[in-house]
Structure 1
Amino acid sequence: MKRLTAPVFCELELFDACTGEMDEVAREVFTASRPYIQAAARDFSAKSATWTWCDLPRARHGYKEDIIAGDLSKGDLMDLYDKNVIKSKGRPRDIYDQILVTAQGQCPYCAGIGSARTLDHYLPKAKFPTLSVHPNNLVPACRDCNTDAGAGFPESQDLQPIHPYLDKDCFFLERWIHAEVIRCEPVVVRFFANPPVHWSDIDRQRARQHFTDCNLKDRFSNQVAAELSPLILQRKSSLAVFSPAQFEAHLRTVAEDATLLLNGWKRTMYLALCENDWFCSADFNGDWLAY
């Protein structure tokens, strides 16, 4: 996963930017309800400090007419994002674009496999409408991760997805995604989640759940062929002069490349390759499966 710096905007800055573009009647209603949005933002901050977003109050499924904050309905707050941010040509859209660009095009949920082209509501606006325009609830995401997240959110802490801005350092600074090399034709690399044993049970389960929810097993595996086939061709030609130890060292330079994401597919794959004795020793010019 990729850590992103939290947006520089204040918790109600986007809300205020939206109301600033409304007509007088609508602005009066939203401004009068502002204290309720501020209270929800404080609750969000409190739960962020303990990573217990699942405990925040939820709106009922459907029922857009339910009054949620002051005189604002669930539908009003959902439309605030859909109509006053997405369709804005002023300050709200500028804030949206500035949040999106922080990902530098890489989706943080899937470690950069997908292109971040939209903002995902970490806490879905249908369930948590008072947070529909909270900057820290808006995360750059690719289409797959945004779609897979859906409109639901787990009610148990151990099933919460990893938050790219606000979550624990361990998810970003410690290795918890691993891979194994399967000796076959073509070579297969299988990815799996195996968090450190010193993590809490909740954090270990959260990591495994994130791996499953983002379908990282298959999505990481889909990246392998384009990288592995040229590597084997190099081993058969320009790298054929390398001893197994030299080839292992060559692979390890990528596995230890700090410019690549620690739990991204590429570093994970190269670590598995350099730690696999068969792969480092195989004579790919001969009957290498039997080697």
Structure 2
Amino acid sequence: MQHIDPPPFDARDVYTTCIGNARPSSRERLESFTDAVADAASAYEVAAQGQALHTLTGLATAPTAPRDRKALEGVYTHRMVKDRTPGRRIYEALRGTTDEEGRRRDNRCPLCGEGLVTTLDHHLPKNKYPLLSVVPVNLIPACRDCNTGKLVTVPVKAGDQTLHPYFDDFSHHPWLRARLRRPRGNEQPSMKFFVSPHSDWSDTLTERLQTHLKVFDLDYRYSLLVSSHIASTNHDLTMAHTNDIAFWLERKAEGWRYRGNPNTMGYALFKALAADEWYVNGGWRSSSVETNLE
């Protein structure tokens, strides 16, 4: 969950670029939607800035003809994503996985903060909102898990909106939290991830944060990652003095801030371990280091 700068592309320019090599018979029909695409992009940006994308129900009905809707979806699929198409350069710039010289960037998925960006996610799905198929602010760089897991989720009320990396920034408060699940028998310690909002935040915002975790299945996905971190931590703690453990874990948590943002899986994990008296006071020894490291 990381805020990123909106793309510097104009929606009208992107659309006209993408349809630039269309055959004359198709181009005339696609060009007839240019103003509608530009207007839809403007309405989208206003709604996103006001955290009101759920109000764009009118855009979902346009155009009405199935043939036209399919053609607009195809502008993204066939004229932006495919290699050697007019919009491919824009696609790669929006995805942002390499710099201008082709070098790989450290591009973490802004939706989950863990996966690496490999694709673009339509924040409002293109099969529901075909006019937004190639609107830049509707295209979010994402990892494969976030893109496929979200599917065609559409918000119907304010609380249904997932966080929008271009327009939402709640990194000033650590709202992603975790709680240690103490092992039973031969179980390994695990984590439960949840939302802990700021006291001044509205119920709607809290619901949005919860929706984001649910839609992208982050509690489950993060829980699959923590076992190796806990195992490595248990090993490191064999060399730490008992009185220093909580402080060491707090410092470890601070190292997991990403670009100053505390809402990362690692920050929540190590803050939870530092706050758990059972773990700090020897619970980390409950499973053998050898077992944890396998």
**Map of 1:230 onto structure 2:** 232
1:58 offset after TM fit, Å? 4.1
The residue type equivalent to 1:111 in the other structure is: G
Q: Aligned equivalents of 2:121 and 2:286: distance in 1?
A: 49
Does 2:211 correspond to 1:216?
A: no
Identity of aligned residues (%): 27
Q: Aligned equivalents of 1:286 and 1:174: distance in 2?
A: 33
Does 2:92 correspond to 1:97?
A: yes
Superposition pairs of residues 269-288 of structure 1, within 5 angstroms: 269-282=269-282
**Change over 3 Å in CA distance of 1:135–1:286 after alignment to 2:** closer
Does 2:79 correspond to 1:81?
A: no
Equivalent in 188, 191, 197 of residue 190 of structure 2: 188
**Map of 1:118 onto structure 2:** 119
Length-normalised TM-score, structure 1: 0.86
Could you say what secondary structure the match of 2:267 adopts? helix
**Map of 1:156 onto structure 2:** 157
**Change over 3 Å in CA distance of 1:181–1:151 after alignment to 2:** closer
Number of residue pairs the alignment of both structures matches: 275
The residue type equivalent to 1:99 in the other structure is: L
1:221 offset after TM fit, Å? 1.1
**Map of 1:36 onto structure 2:** 36
Length-normalised TM-score, structure 2: 0.85
1:258 offset after TM fit, Å? 6.4
Does the 8 Å contact 1:251/1:270 carry over to 2? yes
The residue type equivalent to 1:251 in the other structure is: L
**Change over 3 Å in CA distance of 1:254–1:84 after alignment to 2:** same
1:144 offset after TM fit, Å? 2.1
1:32 offset after TM fit, Å? 3.3
1:202 offset after TM fit, Å? 0.7
Could you say what secondary structure the match of 2:11 adopts? coil
Unaligned segments of structure 1, at least 5 residues: none
Could you say what secondary structure the match of 1:139 adopts? strand
Deviations 1:243-271 (A, max 9, x none): 32x22111111212364341111011111
Superposed CA RMSD in Å reads: 2.4
Deviates more, 1:94-103 or 1:7-16: 94-103
Could you say what secondary structure the match of 1:173 adopts? coil
Does the 8 Å contact 2:48/2:167 carry over to 1? yes
Does the 8 Å contact 2:234/2:285 carry over to 1? no
Does the 8 Å contact 1:81/1:132 carry over to 2? yes
Q: Aligned equivalents of 2:276 and 2:108: distance in 1?
A: 30
Q: Aligned equivalents of 1:283 and 1:156: distance in 2?
A: 44
**Map of 1:205 onto structure 2:** 207
**Change over 3 Å in CA distance of 1:206–1:283 after alignment to 2:** closer
